[in-house]
Amino acid sequence: MNAVVKPLAFKPNETFRDDFTFRNSEAAIRRFPLPFPNDEYMYSVNIEPHLPGPPGSVFEHAFDVDEHYVAECRERATVLAAEPLRFQALPHMQSAEWDCLELIMNSLARDYPAHFSLGKRGNHWHWINRPLDIDQHFVFGDLASLPYPPLEYITRQTQGDFVVMDQRDGDLWIQAGMVTTPADWSLDFDMGMTFKEWHGPVPLAHEMNVFDRALKYLLNLRLGHPVRRLNWTMTIHPRLDTSPENYPSWGPERTTVTPRNAGDLVHLRVELQGLWRLPRSNAVVFSIRTYFISIRELATIPKWARRVHRVAKNLHPTLVDYKGLSRYRDALVEWLAPFDDGTPTTPGTAPE
């Protein structure tokens, strides 16, 4: 199968700030992970095994690499240069850091041999990352042999945020992470929190016991059996770093949406979240990979335009508020209305 897959064509110069030149190719639009399997949305514990999905889909590999890879890694470096605390790891998480490095390197080298390779002679490893022009010899387990801590080293070369949770006292505690693309949450603020403390701000779900069930499930997460789920919100511009720390730079943009510009300004922001049990540390790593699609790009798929129009129009008021859509939801619905003639949508998320 790999033999027929062409190497990815990266778009190294696109940006996620200032002039926002990020765009999706037609192929990227068609593989976008729409999180709405039907025309209404409500929370569920929508966790499923993270098994290889259809070729070409974002679920095909453990860690999806796409046309935005190089640009997203550069954006991460930009954020870290200004705010180094976007990466943190407590001292007792070192074995978990190495576990993460191994998991990601093994996956990328196996799934994208044209772009990454990993050689091992005992603990002497040789990592090659061709898109980022990195050629690194190091000793697995030896901190001094890498230019950064192991988790920082590998997540500087990976799309998406990572949070590592230690398991103890029947709970999961945030003890390490790389978070430069957050949907309005802060690693620095949440470090040391338990699973439910971390999710404290989420409305409705606590009453539905979603977190009791999710925690119980994750405490028993098994080695070799990762799971995934999708989550979503919306963001003005394809801005990856919507952090509380930088709220003044992005919060006010939500007041600029009109029924005329909503299609270009508003982006559906989908998180593909993965959870893995880590072998040597018994910790759990949580990956949060963000995908953007502008509403105009999304509307090129007629079924998706109808569905998102209906979801946005009928969304529970508490969720409208929590997801930060209050200021522009009506403008968005008005922009999408002409695409919805009332034709039923087919089940599932496929573009038809």
Give the residue numbers marked as catalytic.
Answer: 229
Q: Report the site for another protein in 143-172 (rule: CB under 8 A).
A: 166-169
The encoded tokens of residue 136 equal 């690194």
Does the footprint of another protein cover residue 122 (CB under 8 A)?
Answer: no
The single residue among 158, 281, 290, 345 that binds another protein, judged by CB under 8 A, is 281
Does the footprint of another protein cover residue 279 (CB under 8 A)?
Answer: yes
Does the footprint of another protein cover residue 216 (CB under 8 A)?
Answer: yes
By rule CB under 8 A, what string of x and - marks binding of each residue 78-97 to another protein? Answer: --------------xx----
Task: For the chain, list the strands marked E by DSSP.
Answer: 48-49, 87-89, 116-121, 124-129, 134-139, 161-168, 171-178, 227-236, 266-277, 284-294
Q: What is the dihedral of CA 67, 63, 228, 179, to 10 degrees?
A: -80
Report in angstroms how near the CB of residue 175 gets to another protein at its nearest: 8
Residue 71 DSSP SS3 = helix
Instruction: List, in sequence order, every residue forming a beta bridge with 268; answer none if it has no partner.
Output: 234, 293
According to the 3-state scheme, what is the secondary structure of 273-291?
EEEEECCCCCCEEEEEEEE
Q: Distance between CA 285 and CA 176 in Å, rounded?
A: 9
Q: Distance between CA 68 and CA 10 in Å, rounded?
A: 6
Report in angstroms how near the CB of residue 170 gets to another protein at its nearest: 9
Q: Distance between CA 27 and CA 11 in Å, rounded?
A: 13
Q: Distance between CA 106 and CA 1 in Å, rounded?
A: 18
Nearer to another protein, 55 or 141 (CB): 141
Nearer to another protein, 225 or 260 (CB): 225
Does the footprint of another protein cover residue 121 (CB under 8 A)?
Answer: no
Nearer to another protein, 58 or 165 (CB): 165
The single residue among 1, 3, 18, 222 that binds another protein, judged by CB under 8 A, is 222
Size of the site for another protein (CB under 8 A): 18
Does the footprint of another protein cover residue 53 (CB under 8 A)?
Answer: no
Nearer to another protein, 6 or 222 (CB): 222
Report in angstroms how near the CB of residue 342 gets to another protein at its nearest: 39
Chain residues that interact with another protein, rule: CB under 8 A: 49, 92-93, 99, 166-169, 216, 220, 222-225, 279-282
